[in-house]
């Protein structure tokens, strides 16, 4: 059986960065490079129906060997974040980690410091896979893919282990919020599923943010500064004023846990026109609605002060908190807790301060909580993963699947 870390090392060297500026599906054709490889690997394992469709969704089924067991889905995403380079990834292996600072790149003086990431000390004595400091690693979510592949190979190599149908899916464009856009739940055919897209050992997540994006266009009037008195309306300054109306301590840098936020994500413009991009997040639907209304009210104030349609806002909901869809079928979480306890892992049920394919899939009729992979510091040069924890993720999923076959 191939080692799970060997799979990961192979996958991360394939660039699959998605592109939120692209309108195509998938957003980047390079995602097919990994998708096609995975289809070949699944077929070599004996998954005869493995295939990738025109939208870069990989699906396949390991047929069960018992009757009346639920069909369980395992899902991970192919793409990596556009926030950081994803090509020429050069993973580094740190064996028997000493618990001290890790030099990622001596030439560029890039160091992952314990003073910045105190949890590094928890990994002393374990094996880490890190970046070389110039790219992300891609463990988000190629670790999940590697772990799912290892689960499938385990059951194929152990036909004595009882299991129902295991449905496999690898999705594109999760990092830009489109991972479920073309996901065919009916075709997938699972009764419920799990994304392997979490972080630290033991994490189970079935709550996530309600999420929206907002675009505000501020219109100004450009007049030669020599004759601008009482005529010029500087859209940049008006945009700054609009931003100042929003609560300072509801920015992400001041929030944690279940605290939501409104974040100015981008701004660009000139005197004539300035565009602001926001993301709005909250676990609580009422507070989520209030945050959206507050931004609208701020724009209304600007319009009363500077004239109608000075600030035009468009708000689009992205996804919702899957909790309401998981609570009626809490056995999907309870089974993971029991599996972790059986293999000596302490369960840590926590809320996602973000989103996941599972959130949208849950609202599409496929309850899909999230399980840890063992990775951390996603989307940046300090991304890394604990190899031993990858094996625990594999063990957890195996135990969950076996538990439903009894």
Catalytic residues: 79, 174
Who's near 310: CB < 8 A, 6+ residues apart? 218, 219, 233, 238, 302, 303
Residue 168's CB: how many other CB atoms inside 10 A?
A: 26
DSSP assigned state of 22: -
Reading phi first (left if > 0) and then psi (alpha if -120 to 50, else beta), residue 41 is in alpha
Give DSSP secondary structure letters for 50-80: -EE-TT--EEEEE--SSSSPPPEEEEEE--B
Judge contact between 94 and 112, C-beta under 8 A.
Answer: no
Burial (CB count within 10 angstroms: exposed 0-12, middle 13-18, buried 19+), residue 263: middle
| Closest by CA position to 397, among listed 230, 154, 215, 208 | 154
Q: Which strands make up the sheet holding 261-269, listed edge to edge?
A: 261-269, 273-282, 210-219, 311-319
DSSP assigned state of 268: E
Judge contact between 36 and 57, C-beta under 8 A.
Answer: no
Distance CA 178, CA 304 (A): 37
* 20 Cα distance to chain centroid: 14
Residue 217's CB: how many other CB atoms inside 10 A?
A: 18
Query: Is the C-alpha dihedral spanning 137, 138, 140, 141 positive or negative?
Result: negative
| Closest by CA position to 349, among listed 357, 362, 359, 340 | 340
Helix (H) or strand (E) holding 213: strand 210-219
Judge contact between 215 and 314, C-beta under 8 A.
Answer: yes
């Amino acid at each position: 059986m191939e080692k799970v870390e060997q799979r990961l090392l192979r996958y991360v060297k394939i660039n699959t960065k998605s592109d939120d500026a692209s309108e195509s599906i998938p957003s980047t054709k390079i995602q097919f490079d990994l998708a096609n490889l995975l289809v070949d690997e699944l077929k070599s394992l004996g998954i005869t129906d493995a295939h990738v469709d025109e939208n870069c969704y990989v699906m396949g089924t390991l047929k069960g060997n018992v009757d009346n067991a639920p069909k369980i889905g395992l899902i991970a995403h192919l793409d990596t974040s556009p926030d950081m380079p994803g090509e020429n990834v050069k993973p580094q292996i740190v064996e028997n980690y000493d618990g001290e600072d890790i030099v990622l790149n001596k030439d560029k003086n890039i160091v992952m410091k314990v003073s910045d990431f105190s949890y590094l000390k928890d990994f002393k004595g374990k094996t880490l896979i890190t970046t070389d400091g110039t790219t992300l690693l891609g463990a988000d979510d190629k670790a999940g893919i590697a772990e799912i592949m290892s689960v499938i190979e385990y059951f194929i190599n152990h036909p004595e282990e009882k299991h129902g149908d295991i449905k496999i899916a690898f999705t594109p464009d999760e990092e830009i919020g489109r991972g479920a856009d073309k996901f065919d739940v009916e075709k997938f055919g699972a009764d419920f599923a799990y994304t392997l897209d979490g972080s630290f050992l033991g994490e189970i997540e079935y709550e996530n943010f309600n999420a929206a994006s907002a675009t505000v266009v501020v219109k100004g009037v450009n007049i030669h500064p020599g004759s601008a008195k009482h005529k010029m309306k500087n859209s940049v300054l008006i945009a700054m004023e609009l931003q100042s109306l929003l609560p300072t301590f509801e920015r992400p840098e001041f929030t944690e846990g279940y605290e939501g936020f409104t974040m100015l994500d981008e701004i660009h413009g000139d005197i004539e026109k300035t565009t602001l991009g926001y993301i709005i997040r909250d676990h609580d639907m009422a507070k989520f609605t209030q945050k959206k209304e507050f931004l609208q009210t701020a724009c209304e104030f600007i319009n009363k002060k500077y004239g109608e349609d000075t600030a035009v806002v468009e708000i689009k909901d992205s996804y919702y908190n899957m909790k309401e869809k998981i609570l009626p079928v809490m056995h999907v979480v309870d089974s993971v807790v029991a599996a972790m306890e059986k293999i000596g892992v302490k369960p840590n049920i926590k809320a996602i301060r973000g989103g996941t394919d599972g959130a949208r899939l849950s609202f599409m009729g496929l309850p899909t909580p999230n399980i840890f992979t063992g990775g951390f510091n996603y989307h940046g040069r300090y991304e890394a993963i604990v190899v031993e924890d990858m094996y625990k993720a594999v063990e957890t999923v195996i135990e969950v699947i076996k538990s439903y076959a009894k």
